[in-house]
Structures are given as structure tokens and as C-alpha cells.
Amino acid sequence: MSNSRALVIKSIKQGETSLIVSCYLEEIGYRSFLVKGLYGSKKSRFSKAHFFPLNLINIHYSFNEKKNLGFIKEVKSEVLFKTIHSDVQKSSVIVFLSEILNNVFREELEVNQDLFDFLLNSLIWYDNVIECNNYHIKFLIELSKYIGFHPNIISENDPYLCLESGTTSKIKPLGGNINGEDLKLFKKLLGMEFEDLNTISISRESRTRILKKIINYYSLHLQMFKTPKSINVFAEVFK
């Protein structure tokens, strides 16, 4: 049996009483676990709230490498998030980002302490800030740094960012790119800290365009990446 802090990425009901939970563990990376007896028993050791998307928990578990499945024996909340699961806008962002991360972790199975720390620290910051409409865009830009395809601004004067190469260019790329005012905003987001996000004003239209470009960027660099199903609901919340 082992112990680890774990970020809940995805959960699916299994049968009448159990749950399959996919987590990113600080100790061993991305793994899936069976949680028995969560439903249908008043005496369950577990709470559904433990397995909310991107919740941070501490688990006592075993893992079978041959079956690629583990069992969670005990769980407790590691951080008591105050807003990201109760605020309508924030919870929509969290569901959207958890879907992105599930796509990412299908290719990034191994442990990465820097990635784990980034995820945890950015979530704690988002939980404590009153409002931030640009958080999800900054999150995705920063996430790309930890999985190997962070955008490279060769020159601040370059008018295009090529989505396929991830670099800026003086010549318009043949494929997808970010340009014009959207590129100016993207560069500002790229260069600032989370704490400064509310100092930049981005219209809903620009935010939507930039987000679609980033989703395209991820799909070009991750073979198994799929556009999140939650993106339509997510877009409605930000209208």
C-alpha cells in the first residue's frame, strides 16, 4: 500500500455502487483507480465531493501494473477549495480544464513534479481570486511549457505565430496562425504572471478566438488530443 497526493482528473460511474477515478499522482503520475461502495451505502468511507474534477486529495492505494488499475482504500481532502466547485463560472472552467488534462495525460503518463506543482499552485490561486476571465487561457499557455511545446516568440515584431511550429514568423504560415490584435494579446498573456491577469482587458470575441487557436495548437502537438465536449457549455457561461 502507498500514499500520495492526487489531483482528480476524471471520474466515471462503474456499475451500481462504484467509481473509476483517473488521477494525476504526485508520486507516480497518471493512473486510474476503482473506488468501491461510493454509491448506495450510507456507511461509505468516501464522499462524492472527494472526486470532483481537479480536487486535490490524499489517497491510500494499491496499484496493479498488469491490469493498469488500482484500488483506493482511504481518501481525505488535501486542500479545501472554497469556490472552484461552487461558483458557476469557475466550476465550468474547471470541468473544461479537467477534460483538457485528461486528453493530455493519455500521452503524459509519467510523474513530473514541476507539472504537479504548477497544477496545484494555479488552482489554489484561481480558488482565491474573486474573478478572472482569462485564467483558462493563461493556464493552457503555461501547461504547454510542461508538456513540451511552449510557444517561442523569436521576435516581438513578428506578425504571426505559426501553430504548427509554435514559433513566431515574419512570413504568413501556410497553416493555422495567430496574428493581429489577437497575437498582441497572446504575447501579453504569455509574458505575465497569473497575479497580473486582471490587469489586461480582453473582449469576449477575442478571448473566444484565442481559445480556439490554442485548442487547435494542442491538437497539432498531441496525437490523441480531442476538442473538449464541454467547450460549448463553457462558451455559454462566458457570454
Given the C-alpha cell 514559433, which residue does it identify? 167
Which of 77, 106, 137 is where one domain is finished?
77
Q: How far apart are CA 4 and CA 215, in angstroms?
A: 31
pLDDT, tens digit (0-9, with 9 covering 90-100), for 163-189: 999 999 999 999 899 999 999 999 999
Whether residue 105 is contained in a domain is answered as yes
Query: Is residue 222 predicted with pLDDT exceeding 70?
Result: yes
Query: Is residue 71 predicted with pLDDT exceeding 80?
Result: yes
Which conformational region is residue 226 in: left (phi greater than 0), alpha (psi within -120 to 50 degrees), or beta? beta
Contact 21, 33 (CB under 8 A): yes
Please report, rounded to a whole number, the percentage of residues in the chain having pLDDT higher than 70: 94
DSSP at 167: B
Q: What is the mean predicted confidence (pLDDT) over 118-130?
A: 97
Q: Which residues contact 1 (CB under 8 A, 6 or more apart)?
A: 60, 61, 62, 73
Indicate if 72 and 92 belong to the same structural domain: no
Q: Which residues contact 168 (CB under 8 A, 6 or more apart)?
A: 151, 152, 153, 154, 155, 158, 160, 161, 162
Indicate if 32 and 58 belong to the same structural domain: yes
Whether residue 181 is contained in a domain is answered as yes
pLDDT, tens digit (0-9, with 9 covering 90-100), for 6-54: 999 999 988 888 899 999 999 999 999 999 877 766 667 788 889 999 9
Tell me, what's the pLDDT at 209? 94
Task: Looking at 147-203, list the stretches that DSSP marks H as alpha helix, in order from N- to C-terminal side.
Answer: 180-191
Contact 182, 206 (CB under 8 A): yes
Domain containing 46 equals 2-77
- Tell me the CA distances in angstroms from 117 to 33, 101, 106, 120, 124, one per residue in order: 22, 14, 19, 5, 11
Domains held by the chain: number: 2
Tell me, what's the pLDDT at 135? 97
pLDDT band at 60 (very low <50, low <70, confident <90, very high): very high
